[in-house]
Amino acid sequence: MSNTSAFPDWHGTTILAVRKAGKTVVAGDGQVSMGQTVVKGTAKKVRTLAGGRVIAGFAGSTADAFTLIERLEAKLEQYPEQLARACVDLAKDWRTDRYLRRLEAMLIVADRTSIFTVTGVGDVLEPEHGVAAIGSGGNYALAAARALIDTDLDAEAVARKAMAIAADICVYTNGELTVEML
């Protein structure tokens, strides 16, 4: 499969970012699937970067995602405190570099003030409503979080509840969460 295809159906994960009332939360489930088999239920797909100032979550091929996270860390060192610039530079490299173009993963990257979805087709997208999601259960988590964002729940509670809803619907998503907050 070429990386130039749209990333329609990543099987095996859900990553959700929620920004509300000055807090940013990124949550990811722990399920890793091969076909119809669950091979691990406690994978950690959300990581802190840049000395704890940035959170990244990934969907897609694990090895590819780790390669991208390493590249993102290098960009964050090159452009400290400039998350948008680091993400755009990563997306540009990802799109134009012959090796990186083959990588099949997506990232959600966030700091205290911003959330970005970064893809291999050159997208760096900032959500309009303070909520972004990727992965096979991403649309379920996104819809649930959008419905919950205007309630009295804080950012972490919105993320946890939305992820629980996604896990109830998506067979490639479980309730074993990794949650990081800024």
- Report pLDDT digits (tens) over 21-73: 999 999 999 988 877 888 888 989 999 999 999 999 998 877 788 888 999 99
Tens of pLDDT, residue by residue over 70-115, are 999 999 999 999 999 999 999 888 877 766 667 777 899 999 999 9
**Region class of 101: left (phi > 0), else alpha (psi between -120 and 50), else beta:** alpha
The 3-state DSSP class for residue 21 equals: coil
Please say if the pLDDT value at position 9 is more than 80. no
Say which of 13, 14, 24, 173 is annotated catalytic. Answer: 13
SS3 content of the chain, % helix, strand, coil (to 5): 35, 30, 35
CA 158 to chain centre: 16
Q: Could you tell me the two tokens for 146?
A: 């959008």
For residue 57, being part of any structural domain is answered with: yes
Q: List Cα–Cα distances, 19 to 106, 109, 146, in angstroms.
A: 19, 12, 11
Tens of pLDDT, residue by residue over 155-180, are 999 999 999 999 999 998 999 999 99
* pLDDT-derived band at 6, boundaries 50, 70, 90: very low
For residue 10, being part of any structural domain is answered with: no
Name, in order, each residue with C-beta under 8 angstroms of 118's C-beta and a sequence gap of 6 or more: 68, 72, 87, 90, 91, 94, 106, 107, 108, 109, 124
Q: Return the CATH number at 168.
A: 3.60.20.10
Please say if the pLDDT value at position 8 is more than 60. no
For residue 66, being part of any structural domain is answered with: yes
**Region class of 70: left (phi > 0), else alpha (psi between -120 and 50), else beta:** alpha
Name, in order, each residue with C-beta under 8 angstroms of 10's C-beta and a sequence gap of 6 or more: 59, 60, 106, 134, 135, 136, 138
Helix extents (H) in 32-171 = 62-78, 83-96, 138-148, 155-169
Yes or no: say if 24 and 55 are a contact pair by the CB < 8 Å rule.
yes
For residue 182, being part of any structural domain is answered with: no
Domain count along the chain: 1
151 is catalytic: no
Show the domain range for 146. 23-176
User: If we measure between CA atoms, which residue out of 10, 16, 4 comes closest to residue 108?
Assistant: 16
Tens of pLDDT, residue by residue over 120-149, are 778 899 998 999 999 999 999 999 999 999
For residue 63, being part of any structural domain is answered with: yes
